[in-house]
Amino acid sequence: MVKIGNIELPEFPLLLAPMEDVSDPPFRRLCKTHGADMMYSEFISSEGLIRDAIKSRMKLDIFDYERPVGIQIFGGDEEAMALSSKIVSTVKPDLVDINFGCPVKKVVCKGAGAGVLKDVDLMVRLTKAVIRSTDLPVTVKTRLGWDENSINIDEVAERLQDIGVQALTIHARTRAQMYKGHSDWSHIARVKNNPRITMPIFGNGDIDNPEKALKYKNEYGIDGIMIGRAAIGYPWIFNEIKHYFKTGEHLAAPTVADRVEAARNHLMWSMEWKGERLGIVEMRRHYTNYFKGIHSFKEYKQKLVTTDEPEALFAIMKEIEQVYAGYEFV
């Protein structure tokens, strides 16, 4: 069993990564249904929370069926991080997570996200400010370092644990790599094997099938895996990995009917949470992923991304299910 504060997780938990414009409550609900053990909100700007920005406040919405769930914040100012930590605590998530890994330029330029990897002293001060401002467990997600010439994850892990961080997720790339090139999990293994490190260490980066998940679990000795992009349009990956761990066999791949059901639920829950119009519009980015691999699907995709009425969208999905009944993915 893996513990983060008072949170008890399974022996080898599978975590859903916090992803901007993806990891909202409807998507998290879908992943929870399909086996995710713990999830996180989209990352939230500490300055946005303090300014009472509507989008930032919406990201604080969590629901009991999601638990355990963490809310992730980012920022480069100690006072703002402390205050936002207090705001986050009022909605009673299970933990507060700090993002020191986002490589996006607009975040890094503010001295936040992966930008903090260039100044570990600042990272420590920001983290201390959050820990002092909440009674909840505080965890961190970060990267190996700024670039391959400044990989400092060993120092980062020790110093964060020393000030009270209770779990660390490491994306096995540098900021310079963004999301390209190969992830290098050997650095994560080195952190995990450090006798000083007692907090759980979770690995993140490039896990997109059960075989790779098992290989990395055995090879690198981590306490759990965080899955991000591979879950977009494919929430089945969590249960597929768990089944493979237990049996060494693959679950049957989701059928077109399964994919339609997932897309339908995602749309329905999005409309419930965001309102009908916004729910429909923001769902459009997901259809390609749900129906990836289906030949001659262009016409239906065009309908899905241009239709504005819920009933018409559900009718299109029903037609897809009927037309492609028995379709076998190559």
Last residue in a domain, options 247, 277, 295? 247
The whole-angstrom separation of Cα 167 and Cα 142 is 11
Answer with the residue of higher pLDDT: 95 or 114: 95
In this predicted structure, the answer to whether residue 311 has a pLDDT above a threshold of 80 is yes
18 and 165 fall within a common domain: yes
Q: Which domain holds residue 285?
A: 256-324
Q: Is 277 one of the annotated binding-site residues? A: no
Residue (of 279, 287, 276, 296) closest to 317 by Cα position: 287
CA–CA distance, 310 with 157 (Å, rounded to integer): 48
Is 229 annotated as belonging to a binding site? yes
Mean pLDDT throughout 202-229?
96
Contact 12, 42 (CB under 8 A): no
Is the distance from CB of 220 to CB of 188 less than 8 angstroms? yes
329 within a domain of the structure (yes/no): no
What would the pLDDT profile of 141-168 be if each residue is shown by its tens digit?
999 988 888 899 999 999 999 999 999 9
Do 261 and 148 lie in one domain? The reply is no
267 lies in the same domain as 306:
yes
184 is written with which tokens? 């290098």
Residue 205 assigned to a binding site? no
Total number of domains constituting the chain: 2
**If you compute the radius of gyration of the chain from its CA atoms, what whole number of angstroms results?**
20
Residues marked as catalytic: 102
pLDDT tens per residue across span 267-285: 999 999 999 999 999 999 9
d(CA 65, CA 92): 14
Rounded distance, CA 274 to CA 270, Å? Answer: 6
> Where residue 100 sits, what CATH number does that domain have?
3.20.20.70
In a domain, 147, yes or no: yes
Q: Are residues 236 and 129 in the same domain?
A: yes
pLDDT value, residue 114: 78
What CATH number is associated with residue 265? 1.20.120
Asked if residue 47 belongs to a domain, the reply is: yes
Q: Which residues are 145's β-sheet partners?
A: 151
* Burial environment of residue 43 by CB neighbours within 10 A (0 to 12, 13 to 18, 19 or more): buried
Residues 43 and 64 in one domain: yes
Whether residues 34 and 158 share a domain: the answer is yes
Note the pLDDT tens digit of each residue in 14-72. Answer: 999 999 889 999 999 999 999 999 999 998 888 888 887 667 778 899 999 999 999 99
Same domain, 182 and 105: yes
Task: Give yes or no: residues 58 and 183 share one domain.
Answer: yes
Asked whether residue 317 is domain-assigned, the answer is: yes
Looking at residue 27, the DSSP 8-state letter turns out to be: H
Same domain, 310 and 163: no
Report the DSSP beta bridge partners of residue 9: 2
Q: Is residue 32 part of a domain?
A: yes
Residue 330 lies in a domain: no
The beta-carbon contacts of 317-321 under 8 Å, at least 24 apart in sequence, are 317/260, 317/263, 317/264, 318/260, 320/256, 320/260, 320/291, 321/256, 321/257, 321/260
**Mean local confidence (pLDDT), 186-197:** 96
Is residue 274 domain-resident?
yes
Per-residue pLDDT tens for 59-82? Answer: 899 999 999 999 999 998 999 999
Count the alpha carbons within 13 Å of 42 in the hemisphere toward its beta carbon. 18
For 296-307, the DSSP string reads T-HHHHHHHHH-
Same domain, 14 and 102: yes
Shared-domain flag, residues 278 and 149:
no
Say which residues have a Cβ less than 8 Å from residue 108's Cβ, sequence separation at least 6: 102, 114, 115, 175
The answer to whether 230 and 36 have CB atoms below 8 angstroms apart is no
Same domain for 91 and 173? Answer: yes
